[in-house]
Amino acid sequence: MLRRRRGKAKVIFVLLIVFIAMVWLFIQAFFLSPGDQALKVVDEFYKYEQEGKFADSWEMFHPYMKERLEKGYYIQDRAHVFMNHFGVETFSYTFGEPEELKKWKPADDGPELSMVYKVPVVQVYKGKYGNFSLQQEVFVVQEKEEWFVLWDYQQQ
């Protein structure tokens, strides 16, 4: 009899946790502004990069970016340049306020995208050649309920 009650209590507890998680996801999906959602995407992308999970960060790229950067090459090159050449194990990062762009193209010959968010990102590295910062504008767009990351390749 006691075992049956414990089993029911565990099931109720698990269902409660699942319900709370679903409510949290609902709130985030419907109550965060698109700019806040863009910041969340940029943060997730750089957390993956920080942890050396380059396959996961590559998955967040827009299809245009995936055409430009083959997955295996990206994973190997990203780790090689930042970790091996610069002698860093990880980095910190900060980002500024997102700026909404009505229309934007990632390259002169790239697709024109609507409702893009430009987010300035600064990565701070501490390595064998000293401390240095890398500043880059990252672009985020939502297509079919999914958010994607892009970089700027325009010739200016």
Summarize pLDDT for 2-33 with one digit per residue, the tens.
456 667 778 788 888 888 877 776 666 566 78
- In the structure encoding, which two tokens stand for residue 122, read together? 């600064």
Q: Where are the beta strands (DSSP E) in 1-156?
A: 91-95, 99-104, 113-127, 130-143, 146-151
pTM given for the model: 0.78
Domain residue extents for the chain: 33-151
- Quick check: 86 and 127 in contact, CB under 8 A? yes
pLDDT tens digits for range 49-61: 999 899 999 999 9
Residue 117 CA to residue 43 CA, distance in Å, equals: 13
Predicted confidence at residue 16, as pLDDT, reads 84
Dihedral through CA 113, CA 61, CA 126, CA 132, nearest 10?
A: -20
Topology adopted by domain 33-151 = Nuclear Transport Factor 2; Chain: A, (3.10.450)
Q: Splitting the chain (156 residues) into consecutive groups of 10 residues, what average pLDDT does each group show?
A: 65 82 68 88 96 95 97 92 80 95 95 97 90 95 95 87
